[in-house]
Structure 1
Amino acid sequence: MDPKQKIEQLVEQKKDKFIALSRTIWEFAELGYEEYQSSETLCKSLEEEGFAVTKKLAGIPTAFKGVWGSGNPVIGILGEYDALPGLSQKAGCPVKTPLHENGAGHGCGHNLLGAGAMAGAVALKEYLESTKQAGTIIYFGTPAEENLSGKAFMARDGVFDGVDFFYTWHPSSFNRIGAVHMNANISRIYEFKGITAHAGGAPHLGRSALDSCELMGVGANYLREHIIMEARIHYAYLDVGGRAPNVVQDHAAVRYVIRAPYLRQVKDIIKRVDQIAEGAALMSGTTVTYHTESGYSEYIPNNVLAETADKALHEIGGPLWDEQDFALAKDFTEAFNDQSKEKERETIIQRYGRDKLAEKLQNPLDTQIEKYDKNHIIMEFGSTDAGDVGYIAPTVHLNIATEALETPGHSWLKAGQANSSIGLKGMVTAAKVIALSCVKMIEDPDKIKQAKAEFMQKNNGIYDCPVAGVTELPKL
């Protein structure tokens, strides 16, 4: 039996366990740094499979690792399990039906990610046992990927040190080893302090912190014209100073997130945003303090790992859909808004050809595999804290189809499919690809050397952590 067949057999033997695990994590739907039930359940599953579990890594209550084996190479597999606020949704239902009004939901599919990555780690362990090969497997439970930089804090504190390479995956509309460069970002909080006064009777005695936030927003809007076109500036009010308009607000706060292709570019832009905040305070007679709360390094795939995973994905193949899966996906796409439907059409034409448009609109699930091309790395404007792991050792994350084509990210549509036959079939496929990718690396030690050489060329072993000096874990 060749490695592909063996890995497929091992994953299939235990797939029901990990499907049940994914469903359980989906039901918990816990936010970042609050994934207490999810992390405990994942730890229990690792222990049942013979992994030695260590909890509370980097002082984070919901971060953990499970270790099996001995010797080299040391393989890291990354799992996530945090949900998103406000995205509660009935499983497999293509009509917006929250299970809990305003409750959290797995609108990014991290229930699939955590359970699928673990299924891959367990299959790899059993493969090494059966072939009597050396190697250490570490499954890392990494909380709070969404906005809160869980892996960056773990990387800063040395949790990932000593690992030779990392694989992970992410639920998607497509089957691919993403040839993508994802943005770095830093989240920063600006707090303004002013003086209260009667807004009608004595406004001249007041100094409005809310005015400062609004002036800062004006300045940031003008700054957008004078930064690199790939950069993004986002903001959200955290404190508007109260609800009474006849009281001059003496406190207000706003969160800014700055994205750019490289962390060094983010840092340059932040200096200018800080100056805008100081100018806003000067104009309104208030004071301002600011601090970084979270951050992500840019993600750039390691080509050696990516090409290895690309071979594994083509050998395993994408998920095998049936007519019920196609029908369910069609029901979900019927719930898209007009802009998402248009994006779906454009993607089908680009990916499959105009002659396949009618067919794929009727059967809107990915049925092919996008070839990895290291000479055509595309800029994607999102961010992932897997980028921080990529500054510790060679790292790649792959995508497997778990949803209808062009399902909007961070939506109830995605949450509903993350606990459906579509999502779960994709998860099982991801487990096979991760395990087989690791086998290919283990059984060709030169590839590990090549991946490390490429890694050193990227950053010369230097990690400029975006959350250096941050003393408290952030909150949404």
Structure 2
Amino acid sequence: MKPASAVAEIAAAVEARRRPYIEIADRIWGLAEMRYREFESAELHAAALEAEGFRVTRGVAGMPTAFVAEAGSGGPMIGFLGEYDALAGLNQASGALECRPDPERAFNQGHGCGHHLLGTAAHLAAVVARDHLRRHELPGTVRFYGCPAEEAAAGKTFMARAGLFDDLDAALSWHPSVANSVFMNATLANVQAHFRFHGKSAHAALAPHLGRSALDAAELMNVGVNYLREHMPDQARVHFAYIDSGGPSTNVIPAFAEVLYTVRASRIDEALALFARVEQVARGAAMMTGTTVEMVFDKAVSNVLHNDALDRVMAEQMEAVGALEVSEEERSFAAKMQSTLSAEELASSAKHFAAALRDPQPIATGIQPYRPEAARPVTGSTDMGDVSWAAPTTQCLTACFAWGTAFHSWQMVSQGKTSLAHKGMLLAAKCLAATGVALAGRPEVLCEAERELRAKRGGAPYRSPIPEDVMPPPARDVKV
């Protein structure tokens, strides 16, 4: 079968199956379950894949909401990765043009990053790719990964540490966005840990000399880390939040204080090295205050290793699938949504998707050219980074939201069940399925992709940045 006819067949198969998958995405939008607690969302995906004949293994890598579904036999092994976790503080009425919570929802969380769409498109792509390979009697195994806790967590990093991606010839994923392109941007690695200071309480007025302030230690740590900022790599970031500041009483010297730190850098080795310096500052703060400090490692994610061999196939398939088709009604709604955005938010999209500015529209419909040399770094992080170190990986973006919509915003939640969001999701499914099928028939590209990955890892195997003794949060007795 010629490539063009294969893409047309795959696109038609996605359209033929669209209705139940739109219902899945909308249902998960309404569930809006938080990281590691996506029980209904994960089961919804797992049960639907099981009904399609996939072999499903639940609760992998020590996480109840992580699963693997597989169909077919033999090589090549093509993996599709899906997410379904939501964000706190983003309860929002669907379709509203103002920040307005949905009064029928009792919880304050929402899909402000489009993961209800992300998991559903990858799920649909896996089913369509499996069907295509089977229909044409082509060899290959299709695998779908149900990945929990991408938001401020590291579900895929724990899965990578467990070796779940090691036998993949290619890993495919995507992300809802405001433009259509191969994902070309660099991301930051990060390391996160709790620093818990233990001191000694005393009366702050009668006997302050008997106390050892854990809060003083935490504050001195923050001061010390601020002095590190001059000596960090250019793309490095350090963030912190007080988890426990020692209580509300000013006349009691705090015996306990806790700070959560996230350290980011361009590469995982840089992030780990900077994290080690932050840890030294914490120990120095404890020494200065006569307290002790306990470091509790929480999670880490690696930077994304882009794979040019796979990215070029993804770009080729996106061009073959074609532009996003939208109605005048959808354009009008997108323009109204744009009116709620600030100039800074619109400029942020322009910074990362400058090519779309050649024909500015409320919705970016065209496919942006594959130009990795022009890509700019993204200062966020994703646990897809660890997948990309474990197996050759490619990702795409499709426009599910009005141009300029900021991630983790009420506007993104509001648009999550619109026809535009559904169309972007279906476009992603077509691109992913077409790429998976194309790669299954190109062993030479898969070999090239593996050689490229080995070269970028310096010939070394993938090594998880999370120590072996650190369990996923569901298996720990700590807050998540």
Render the CA deviation track for 1:139-198: whole Å, top value 9, x for unaligned: 000100111100110111112221111100001111110211211110011000111112
- The worse-fitting range, judged by mean Cα deviation, of 75-84 and 326-335 is 326-335
Equivalent residue runs for 1:117-266 within 5 Å: 117-266=122-271
- The worse-fitting range, judged by mean Cα deviation, of 199-208 and 184-193 is 199-208
Render the CA deviation track for 1:345-366: whole Å, top value 9, x for unaligned: 777876324xx5xxx3xx4111
3-state SS, counterpart of residue 48 of structure 2: helix
2:357 equivalent among 341, 352, 358: 352
* Distance across 1 between alignment mates of 2:310 and 2:354: 30
* Distance across 2 between alignment mates of 1:207 and 1:264: 35
Classify 1:345/1:135 alpha carbon distance in 2 versus 1 (closer, same or farther; 3 Å).
closer
Alignment partner of 1:336 is 2:341: yes
Report what 1:469 is aligned to.
468
Equivalent residue runs for 1:316-465 within 5 Å: 316-343=321-348, 351-353=356-358, 360=360, 363-459=361-457, 460-465=459-464
Alignment partner of 1:51 is 2:65: no
Alignment partner of 1:19 is 2:18: no
Classify 1:265/1:45 alpha carbon distance in 2 versus 1 (closer, same or farther; 3 Å).
same
* Distance across 2 between alignment mates of 1:342 and 1:299: 24
Render the CA deviation track for 1:431-456: whole Å, top value 9, x for unaligned: 00000011111122211111111111
* Distance across 1 between alignment mates of 2:349 and 2:375: 22
Report what 1:35 is aligned to.
38
TM-score normalized by structure 1? 0.95
- Name the Cα RMSD after superposition: 1.7
Q: Which 5+ residue runs of structure 2 have no aligned equivalent?
A: 474-478
3-state SS, counterpart of residue 181 of structure 1: coil
The alpha-carbon deviation at position 92 of structure 1 amounts to: 2.0
User: Identity of counterpart residues, as a percentage?
Assistant: 38
Render the CA deviation track for 1:361-409: whole Å, top value 9, x for unaligned: xx41112222112444432111111111111110111111111112111
3-state SS, counterpart of residue 171 of structure 1: strand
* Distance across 1 between alignment mates of 2:185 and 2:352: 17
The alpha-carbon deviation at position 65 of structure 1 amounts to: 1.0
Render the CA deviation track for 1:228-263: whole Å, top value 9, x for unaligned: 111000111111111222211110111111110111
CA contact (8 A) 2:61 2:162 kept: yes
Alignment partner of 1:303 is 2:308: yes
Structure 1 counterpart of 2:230, one-letter code = E
Report what 1:71 is aligned to.
74
Render the CA deviation track for 1:252-284: whole Å, top value 9, x for unaligned: 111111110111101111121111111111222
The alpha-carbon deviation at position 291 of structure 1 amounts to: 2.7
* Distance across 2 between alignment mates of 1:156 and 1:347: 31
Q: Which 5+ residue runs of structure 1 have no aligned equivalent?
A: none
Classify 1:470/1:409 alpha carbon distance in 2 versus 1 (closer, same or farther; 3 Å).
farther
The alpha-carbon deviation at position 471 of structure 1 amounts to: 2.7
- The worse-fitting range, judged by mean Cα deviation, of 332-341 and 23-32 is 332-341
The alpha-carbon deviation at position 342 of structure 1 amounts to: 4.8
Classify 1:261/1:342 alpha carbon distance in 2 versus 1 (closer, same or farther; 3 Å).
closer
* Distance across 2 between alignment mates of 1:440 and 1:8: 13
Structure 2 counterpart of 1:61, one-letter code = P
* Distance across 1 between alignment mates of 2:151 and 2:192: 12
Report what 1:85 is aligned to.
88
Classify 1:345/1:123 alpha carbon distance in 2 versus 1 (closer, same or farther; 3 Å).
closer
TM-score normalized by structure 2? 0.94
CA contact (8 A) 1:220 1:273 kept: yes
Q: How many pairs were matched up?
A: 469
